[in-house]
Structure formats: structure tokens, C-alpha cells
Amino acid sequence: MLGMLGICSALNAAPDQPFSLITGEQWTGQEAVSLSFNPPQEFDSMTKAQVMALRKQAVLQHSDLIEGSYEYSPAIFGQIEDGLPWWGFKGQFCFGPGPKSIEGVSEESRFLLNPYLLLMLDATNAFINPDPICFAAQPSPPQSAVWYPAKKELVLVYNVSHYFAQCVALHGKFCREQLRVDALNARDFGFSYIYFDDRNSYGVSALTAGASAFEDVYQLKDYIHRGQSCGYSGGCNNGSPEQPHMKFHVDYFPGQLAAGLWYHKPQQKYQNPDVTVRMLLQ
């Protein structure tokens, strides 16, 4: 029978998977680890095995941060289909759904190729701009990303004000001061629950009343599959599902969105998280 310490350790452990992040007292390395950003790539026509091989290479860039051997989660990446196109950056931010939606490097690649960025910011919708000078204005990459393993904290700095200015210049009234949080990487690393901590967040607010991670702990659902949102004939590999809980409004700058992540559902939203992610919005 487990004693109280054993019970607490079991509850705070990652789910049954062959690898996990090294955090807290288990970490014996340097205090801060700076994470570089791997640029997006073209995934069109690749097999799932090829895409996952690229992800594993990205994980191995900081193999000292994990214990065990990385294997991707079938629940998240198992539905990727061989040979399909992917939503493109220019497609998402200039052409919208349709035959040109796959133009540019694959927008999901920014998440897949940066696995240690557990949470990342993204626009809340696609844009259509027929102007030939249109470019893919989007809120990533972060200006900096620093992981503090002993403190169980990831700090990301985003120049969101610059993104909004670009968005307004390109799309005018169709651009809104709102963003969504992509948690694909967090879920792949075993984190299943999130809460946007209102005590440590400022300059941001819930976008959808009654459906926001600001209100209560939310179970992550991110995965990739053949979807039809791109409007391309036959569909595209794309992130799903639509999650209003992960969207928020930027009220002023500078701001901060602080999010707690748990492996297992906490008893209440202010319970100490297994990992904290702080996104500084400038």
C-alpha cells in the first residue's frame, strides 16, 4: 500500500508513456534553458512517418530535458494521413479556405517542430486578402522562450502588438484583438488539463463567457487529422477541434497570460500545477 508521499508522487507523475519532462527536484542541470525556434517547413505530400521523424529530431535537440525515449502520442498524431496537403501559412493568412489554402509552408509545422514550447499563440481565424502584397502576418514565433526546469516554469515573450498592427494593416476591420492558445505540444508531453490563472494574468480576459479556461479547469483536446476547414478538395491535415475555451481577448499591453498545466485533473483550479507557462504579451 502506498503511503501519503507515494500517493502524492503518483498523482503528480506523467501518464503511462515512455518519456516525460524532467522537472523540480529531479532536475540537476542549469537553472535556465533557452529554447531556439525551429522555422516552419513544408509538409505537403509527406508521409506521417516523415513528419514524425522531423518532430523526433526536434525533441532530440534538447534530449537532456526529458527522461526516457520520445514516442509521439497516437491520440494526437495518429490520424495524420500520408500524402495529404496541409493548411499553408499564406493560405491561412491571405487566401482563406479554398484551392489556395495550402499555399506557403505548413502552418502546423511551427507547433510540431517546436515540441518544448508547450503552449503557443495563434490567430483565431483564417483571413482572405486578394492583394498580391499580402504576407502571412501571424503571432508566432515568440521573441524568446526560456524553460526553468527546477521551477517547473516556461516563460514565453510575444510581440503581440506588432502582430495586431500588421493584421490591421492587411485586413482592417476583420482583425480582432483576440488570440487562441495551441496546446498540441502540452498534450503530447502528457499534460491533459489547463487553467488560465486569473490571479497571475493581466491585460487579458475570457473571449467566450461560459466556455473559457479562465473560468474553470479545461481538458485539452488538440489533435491532427484530415479536416475539411481548408476547403481544399479532399481535405488537409490540420489541427482540431475548435476550442472556444482556449481563446482570449487582449485588453492592453503589456499583458500576461499565465496558464497551469496538469497531468491529471486537479481537485480545484488553484491547485499547484505540474507546470506553469507564462506568456508575456508586449
Q: Give the side-chain half-sphere CA count within 13 A for 55.
A: 26
Query: Which residues form the domain of 235?
Result: 24-281
* Residue among 242, 190, 234, 185 nearest 211 (CA): 242
Residue 16 lies in a domain: no
Confidence band of 2 (pLDDT split at 50, 70, 90) = very low
Locate cell 514516442: which residue? 71
CA distance 250 to 207: 9
Count of C-beta atoms within a 10 Å radius of residue 232: 22
CA distance 253 to 11: 37
Residue 265 lies in a domain: yes
Residue 220 lies in a domain: yes
Note the helical H segments in 85-159. Answer: 89-93, 109-112
**Where would I find the beta strands (DSSP E) of the chain?**
19-21, 33-34, 66-68, 120-122, 144-148, 153-158, 178-182, 193-196, 204-206, 218-219, 223-227, 236-240, 247-250, 255-262, 275-281
Residue 4 lies in a domain: no
pLDDT of residue 13: 63
Residue 19 lies in a domain: no
Q: Over the chain, what is the mean pLDDT?
A: 94
Overall domain count for the chain: 1
Q: Parallel, antiparallel, or unpaired: how do β-strands 275-281 and 153-158 relate? A: parallel
Residue 14 lies in a domain: no
Per-residue pLDDT at 4 exceeds 90? no
Per-residue pLDDT at 187 exceeds 50? yes
Say if residues 206 and 214 touch (Cβ distance below 8 Å): yes
Residue 15 lies in a domain: no
pLDDT digits (tens, 9 = 90+) for 91-138: 999 999 999 999 999 999 999 999 999 999 999 988 999 888 899 898
Residue 11 lies in a domain: no
**What count of residues does the chain have?**
282
